[in-house]
Amino acid sequence: MSQAPSRRALSGPALVRLLTRLADVDAAESRQSLSDRLSQWLGWTDAIALSSALNGKPPAVAAGARSFGQSDDDECARVRRSLVSAITGDNVLAAARRRGAGHMSAPRVAVDTATDYTVFRQRYLALQQSMETAIGTLRGRLRALLAARTPALARLALVDAVMERALAERERTLLAAVPGLLSGHFTRLREAAQRGATEADAEAEPDADARARIETRTAGSAAVPSGHAAPATPDAAWLDVFRKDMQSVLLAELDVRFQPVEGLLAALHAC
């Protein structure tokens, strides 16, 4: 019996590896260098601006500007924590779970799984917008701090500003495709759960008396005692798997989006 060839493991960021697995695609490693790919993404006006930033006279250091300090480090950490909390605490992505006596389960937005994926797509896009806005503001703040240090760091701040403008639309387009990739994962999980439920029903097929006893027990357990969340149903189980996977992708995307901030921070710490 022949076996399907195993997929080659990718060495890229966690976001790429996650999407390759969840979207069920066999992606190959790119053979292009980073400089080659950038040359395809930058327009001629971007190339001129980047060349001027790299080769032109270093920008003058602003006098009297505020210096980098611990409060700036703290602000970067706070922004990241806030974005992580927005993802992990989102009520659309909250998984069904039991709590101990006296504790209610976290509120969760109901999703009609028989319809479509729209609520998840909208939530993903909203969280992406939150990341883009918060990180963009933070990145601009760090560039201003760099520009006040030395001519070399002021040049680095200028290069970062040029690269952000040049790649923003490309980045936005690529990341906007992520919810579409996850929709296939959502559909596959839902269809697998539906097949499993159909097969289980076909195997069981209880007689009329057994069905009546099941319905009686179900009716008797319908009321859940106060302080306890209702047990997860098989339908909720697959949906909770999807919610967890979607959170993992969002957190991996946050790591990618935060890389320019980490680079600017490293430059500020090094000088």
Query: Across all residues in the chain, what is the average pLDDT?
Result: 79
What's the rounded mean pLDDT across residues 89-101? 68
Its domain, for residue 188, covers 69-200+227-271
In a domain, 47, yes or no: no
Least confident of 19-33, 129-143, 200-214, 250-264: 200-214
In a domain, 209, yes or no: no
Least confident of 110-114, 221-225, 267-271: 221-225
In a domain, 217, yes or no: no
Would you call 75 helix, strand, or coil by DSSP? helix
**CA-only gyration radius of the chain, Å:** 25
- Give the global pTM: 0.77
In a domain, 211, yes or no: no
pLDDT of residue 77 exceeding 90, the answer is: yes
What's the rounded mean pLDDT across residues 72-79? 92
In a domain, 156, yes or no: yes
In a domain, 130, yes or no: yes
Q: How many helices (H) and strands (E) does the chain have?
A: 9, 0
In a domain, 17, yes or no: no
Q: Which residues of 229-249 are buried (b: 16+ CB within 10 A; e: fewer)?
A: eeeeeeebebbbebbebbbeb
pLDDT of residue 172 exceeding 90, the answer is: yes
What lies within 8 Å, CB to CB, of 83 at 6+ separation is: 130, 131, 134, 135, 254
Give the integer Cα–Cα distance in Å for 257 and 260: 7
Q: Considering only CA atoms, which of 102, 164, 169, 104 is closest in space to residue 135?
A: 164
* Number of domains, the chain: 1
